[in-house]
Amino acid sequence: MRRIWAILISVVFLHFFIGTYFPTLPEFGNIDMYRRVSFDYISKSTTTSYQPVEYKKSKGLEDGSANVVTSIVVNYRSFDTLGEVTVLFAAALGVGILANIKKRRIEFEEHKVLSVATGMIFPLILVFGTYVFVHGHLTPGGGFPGGTVIALGFLLLMLAKNEFKVTDAAKHTEQVAGSGYVLVGLIGMAVVGVFLANFLPTGTIGNLFSAGVVPIVYTLIGFKVGAELSSLVSDMREGDKV
Amino acid sequence: MIYYIAFVLIGIGLYGIVSQKNLFKQLVSLTIIDTAVNIFIVALGYLHGAEAPVYSSVTPLANFVDPLPQALVLTAIVISVGTLAVAAMLLVHIHEEYGSVDAEEIRAAKEVIE
Amino acid sequence: MIALLVAVPLAFGFATVALPKLSRYILPLVTLFNLVLLIGFIHPVQVLEIGKWPAAYGIVLVLDSVNYPFLIFVNLVLFALSISAMFEDKLGVLLLVLTAALNGLLLTGDFFNSFVFLEIIAVVAYVLASQNKNYYAAFKYLIFGSVSGVLYLIGVVSLYVYAGTLNMAYIGFIASPEYVQVAGIMILIALLVELKILPLGLWAPDVYSNGSTVTPVALGSAVTVAIFYLFSRIFFNVLEPVKPLPVYILSLISVLFAQLAAMRQKTLGRALAYASIAGASTVMAALSSGALGVEKIASAAYLYLLNEAISMFILFTIYGYLNHKGFKNDSVAGIAFSLASISLIGFPLTAGFWAKINLLAALFEAGDYILPAVLLAATVIEAGYLIKWNVDLWYIDNDSQDEEREKTYLPFGAQVVVLLFALTLVIIGFMPDLITMHTDKIASHIFDFKTYFDTILKGGM
């Protein structure tokens, strides 16, 4: 009986979408970029007139990051990123609230190969994660993948050593980084007059020190996401922490 | 075409949520739906013959696909990870209380309690 | 300055995660700060472009005469909740995040931003729904809510493809109507799941009846009101309306089913949950009664929504504390409970009476006779079971357990809040013009797309 309902719902859904919805979409690969706002995001000309942007040559643009997706996520639509950080925060806090189960801590045997290998790999993982979020404005990546890589390093450490605990340092990091992001927005409000405005100079595209406030924000996000995901996994494992 | 693949995956995910009795399998179907929607959104921005939207020494001048759907998908992925974490924790509690994660066994256990 | 309404609760939420005990005291202070800011310093009409990017490129926050009353009401409900409810420390941080997200949802003028805030509210709601060991119900809610979130996302992205931007006003201006219908259906289904209309709202009875003092109040009074605002904004103000007839029929069926189901419940919590579903469905039926542009119906519907939200606040708070023990010891709770039930049914001299009379009058004037018939039938059923519960709770029979029964009172904060809200219902019953003045203003502005678009245009490029 359930299967019949399930097949019915799926078929009705697919019929609606493929029949009514697909004809309204443009053909795959054939979009009209000039009608969309992305055209101005790419040429960084939302407040100025159109000028083609060139790598390592254009200076002093309204937004200086070479990675256009980063410029959208952290600069043009920074409020959405604040919301996204809040979703992750609420989820990690929810897991922390729900994690009160007695006698839960998962114990396992330590494996010699894993312990030795972790000792060698863990610093490399941390360096790689830091590289990803520091260079978020130059190469694909940014705060969220960088923070996840760092949290995975801590997960590896948790799997290798039985007594490893993520202490309250993670909670304090999360606290400082999160308020730091809102503080950057409020400083923007004090300096430029509008919440979350960019107040540092944007240098040449393609240099490490460019793009104004974007590397700072991505560093804060990287720390926050790393601390959050580590404490989330640790809460799932530890259980009762009265 | 990619659009068809994405929506068939969503259909499979919906079938999974409605027909499976095991709650964990419902959660996995939800993950399939999330991934399929992310594929669909990124595909909406594709332009034939264009490159990834990063200014670099390979593409010093702009010839890019649409970067906005990629930014939207970044946010959507993080949101689905958060939901998945909360759901997994709820499943641990359900197992702790009823002894299984099967919807019919839970219903039977609830009748006994009441 | 508008951004402070969102930034301040969020900053305090982030800052108190390492010391959760502090959050319980910061929450009333923050909501009070929001209220003072709204009433004293910020006035409509204002547009704030975040980051100083022009309107179609960046995110705009809009405060106009439509969402100003909603903002005041939602912040007031959250302030009352922070005083009257009893919750563990860490939940205070989540409630701070909920405050920020609700304010953001009410202020935003951008579709993807509304999706992000809806998801924040959803994650907080899943955790709230699992209070009092109600895990299975929270899991069902999670599955329903996530699928609806995915549908909303597909709708929002399609609107971007049709119009080229994500700003609400520009999408309404640029996108062509027959494409907008298709995306509108998806957004509509997602909002209907959250508004508890019955075949899609099957998660609600289990979630609302968990007996906590926070969950049904936060979800039923604050979140539902905010999502009704979002529904009105999207479908009356910005986009071309989707065909209202299927939604109308669905809401009517939902009202009847919910009231009939409420009659047969054995516990007060589930009966109240079904009553809440019925109330939300009535408001949805009134808003979609095929009369787009009739302002009197919309104004009456908003008054009905206000009455629902306040009465449900009182009823659920009292149920959360007393939980079937009677009113013999606690007559304050009893008076408030009875007053709220009377207002919900719609006896004269309470706010509910004016809500129902205005709604019936406006519907008759517009020539619609089906919804009044359903509404009257639903009122009769509702009167039936609410009076029965009131009688049961006032004259509860507990000679058997006289010694061991501890006296359960409502704590002082809860008593004050509940009495004040019940008093408000009576005052509105005597002088309905206090509120109808504001709902008429909302109704007259909400069907007016040109004013909204001009506001954003002037504030922006």
Write the DSSP string, C390-417: HHHHHT---STTTTTPPP----HHHHHH
Sign of the Cα torsion A199, A201, A205, A206 reads negative
**For residue C383, what are the domain limits?**
244-396+413-449
Q: Which of residues 202-241 of A touch C (CB under 8 A)?
A: none
Report the pLDDT value the prediction gives residue A242, as an integer from 0 to 100.
47
Per the listing, tokens 């899991």 go with: C139
Report the pLDDT value the prediction gives residue C157, as an integer from 0 to 100.
93
CA distance B104 to chain A (A): 12
CA max distance for chain B? 69
Beta-bridge mates of residue B7: none
Helix ranges (H only) for C48-110 are 67-84, 89-107
Report the pLDDT value the prediction gives residue C403, as an integer from 0 to 100.
45
Angle at Cα C257 formed by Cα C251 and Cα C261, nearest 5°? 145
pLDDT, tens only, C424-446: 888 888 888 888 888 888 888 88
Chain A CB contacts of C112 below 8 Å: 77, 80
Pairwise CA distance, residues C304 & C362, whole Å: 13
On whether residue C367 sits in a domain, the answer given is yes
Q: Is the pLDDT of residue C150 over 90?
A: yes
| Confidence grade of residue C406 (pLDDT, cut at 50, 70, 90) | low
Strands C46-49 and C60-63: antiparallel
| Residue B68: partners with Cβ closer than 8 Å, 6 or more residues away | A36, A37, A38, A41, A72, B45, C160, C166
On whether residue C404 sits in a domain, the answer given is no
The structure tokens listed for B77 are: 């992925």
Decide if C129 touches B, using CB distance below 8 A.
Answer: no
Q: Is the pLDDT of residue A54 over 90?
A: no
3-state helix, strand, coil in chain B (%, to 5): 70, 5, 25
Contact C157 B41 (CB under 8 A): yes
Q: Is the pLDDT of residue C405 over 70?
A: no
Q: Is the pLDDT of residue A45 over 60?
A: yes
Contact A75 C51 (CB under 8 A): yes
Per the listing, tokens 């909920």 go with: C98
Q: How many CB pairs under 8 A join A and C?
A: 144
- Count structural domains, chain B: 1
Closest to C139 (Cβ–Cβ): which among B76, B94, B110? B94
Per the listing, tokens 């929607």 go with: B37
Chain B CB contacts of C150 below 8 Å: 10, 33-34, 37
- How many other C-beta atoms are found inside a 10 Å radius of the C-beta of residue B110? 11
On whether residue C335 sits in a domain, the answer given is yes
| Confidence grade of residue C290 (pLDDT, cut at 50, 70, 90) | low
- How many other C-beta atoms are found inside a 10 Å radius of the C-beta of residue C318? 26
On whether residue C300 sits in a domain, the answer given is yes
Check which CATH number belongs to the domain holding B47 and give it.
1.10.287.3510
Report the mean per-residue pLDDT for chain B: 89
On whether residue C342 sits in a domain, the answer given is yes
pLDDT, tens only, A72-89: 998 889 999 999 999 999
Chain A CB contacts of B16 below 8 Å: 6
DSSP state of A72: I
Among the ranges given (A66-70, A206-210, B30-34, C185-189), the one the predictor scored with the smallest mean pLDDT = A206-210
Pairwise CA distance, residues C260 & C266, whole Å: 13
Contact C153 B41 (CB under 8 A): yes
Contact C130 A98 (CB under 8 A): yes
Side chain identity at B103, as an amino acid letter?
A: A
What phi, psi does C171 have (nearest 5°)?
-65, -45
Q: Is the pLDDT of residue C37 over 50?
A: yes
Q: Is the pLDDT of residue C10 over 70?
A: yes
Chain C CB contacts of A83 below 8 Å: 101, 104, 113, 116-117, 119-120
On whether residue C259 sits in a domain, the answer given is yes
Closest to A89 (Cβ–Cβ): which among C88, C90, C97? C97
Report the pLDDT value the prediction gives residue C397, as an integer from 0 to 100.
62
| Residue B13: partners with Cβ closer than 8 Å, 6 or more residues away | B29, B30, B32, B33, B36
- Count structural domains, chain C: 1
pLDDT, tens only, C308-325: 999 999 999 888 888 777
The proportion of chain C whose per-residue pLDDT surpasses 70, expressed as a percent, equals: 95
CA distance B32 to chain A (A): 14
Contact B45 A91 (CB under 8 A): no
What does the pLDDT average to over B94-102? 85
Closest to A90 (Cβ–Cβ): which among C48, C88, C97? C97
On whether residue C107 sits in a domain, the answer given is no
What phi, psi does C370 have (nearest 5°)?
-75, -50
| CA nearest to C265, candidates C355, C177, C204 | C204
On whether residue C301 sits in a domain, the answer given is yes
Q: Is the pLDDT of residue C416 over 90?
A: no
Chain B CB contacts of C160 below 8 Å: 68-69, 72
pTM (2 decimals)? 0.94
The proportion of chain B whose per-residue pLDDT surpasses 90, expressed as a percent, equals: 53
Closest to A80 (Cβ–Cβ): which among B46, B56, B75? B75
**For residue B17, what are the domain limits?**
1-113
Pairwise CA distance, residues C443 & C86, whole Å: 36
How would you class C212 by CB atoms within 10 Å of its CB: exposed for 0-12, middle for 13-18, buried for 19 or more? buried
Q: Is the pLDDT of residue C407 over 60?
A: no
Higher pLDDT pick, C287 / B113: C287
Decide if C57 touches A, using CB distance below 8 A.
Answer: yes
Domain ranges across chain A: 1-34, 68-237
- How many other C-beta atoms are found inside a 10 Å radius of the C-beta of residue C49? 21
Report the pLDDT value the prediction gives residue C460, as an integer from 0 to 100.
45
Mutate to test the interface with B, among A17, A68, A100, A103 (most CBs of B within 10 A): A68
Report the pLDDT value the prediction gives residue C395, as an integer from 0 to 100.
79
**CB contact at 8 A, C78 and C222:** yes
pLDDT, tens only, C230-276: 998 988 888 877 778 888 889 999 999 999 998 888 888 899 999 99
What phi, psi does C240 have (nearest 5°)?
-65, 140
Mutate to test the interface with C, among B10, B65, B78, B79 (most CBs of C within 10 A): B79
What phi, psi does B54 have (nearest 5°)?
-135, 125
Pairwise CA distance, residues A47 & A202, whole Å: 15
pLDDT, tens only, B64-86: 889 999 999 999 999 999 999 99
Among left, alpha and beta (phi > 0; psi -120 to 50; other), residue A67 is beta
What phi, psi does C105 have (nearest 5°)?
-65, -35
Contact A140 B4 (CB under 8 A): no
What does the pLDDT average to over B88-113? 85
**CB contact at 8 A, C287 and C405:** no
Q: Is the pLDDT of residue A160 over 90?
A: no
Decide if C394 touches A, using CB distance below 8 A.
Answer: no
Contact A53 B43 (CB under 8 A): no
Closest to A91 (Cβ–Cβ): which among B47, B61, B86? B86
- Respond yes or no on whether the N-terminal peptide bond of residue C45 is cis (omega within 30° of 0): yes
